C-alpha cells in the first residue's frame, strides 16, 4: 500500500512510508494514487513538484488543515469514481 503525504510547505508526493514531519492524506494502490495526484495537485514553479492547493498560501495552521481536508475530499471523490483497475492486456497499469 502507498500513501499520498504532504508537508506543511504544501509539497505532496506518493510514498510507501509516512516520513516524520509529514501528514498522511489518502492510502491506496501506488500507481493509481500517482495518477490521481498528478491530476488533482497543483504544480510548483519548477514544473516537477506537486503542491496541495491552498496549503502554501495558508497563513495559519487552521487554514492549512482546511486546505488539506478539502484536498483529501477531492482525492476521495476521484478514488470513488473509478476505474478501480486499469489494465493493458493482462498487466495492471
C-alpha–C-alpha distance, residues 80 and 93, integer Å = 18
**91 domain residue, yes or no:** no
* pTM listed for this prediction: 0.86
**89 domain residue, yes or no:** no
pLDDT one-digit tens code per residue, 9-46: 999 999 999 999 999 999 999 989 999 999 999 999 99
**33 domain residue, yes or no:** yes
Which residues, 6 or more positions from 58, have their beta carbon under 8 angstroms from its beta carbon?
A: 64, 66, 67
As given in the structure block, the three cell numbers for residue 79 are 478514488
Domain containing 40 equals 2-83
**34 domain residue, yes or no:** yes
**31 domain residue, yes or no:** yes
As for how many domains the chain has, the answer is 1
pLDDT of residue 89: 64
pLDDT of residue 44: 95
10 Å CB burial of residue 54 (0-12, 13-18, 19+) is: middle
pLDDT one-digit tens code per residue, 42-67: 999 999 999 999 999 999 999 999 99
User: How confident is residue 87, by pLDDT bands cut at 50, 70 and 90?
Assistant: low
Amino acid at each position: 500500500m502507498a500513501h499520498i503525504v504532504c508537508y506543511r510547505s504544501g509539497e505532496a508526493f506518493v510514498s510507501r512510508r509516512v516520513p516524520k514531519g509529514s501528514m498522511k492524506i489518502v492510502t491506496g494502490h501506488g500507481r493509481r494514487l500517482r495518477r490521481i495526484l498528478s491530476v488533482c495537485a497543483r504544480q510548483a514553479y519548477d514544473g516537477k513538484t506537486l503542491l496541495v492547493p491552498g496549503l502554501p498560501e495558508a497563513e495559519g495552521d487552521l487554514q492549512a488543515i482546511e486546505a488539506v481536508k478539502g484536498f483529501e475530499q477531492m482525492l476521495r471523490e476521484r478514488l470513488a469514481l473509478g476505474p478501480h483497475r486499469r489494465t493493458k492486456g493482462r498487466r495492471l497499469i
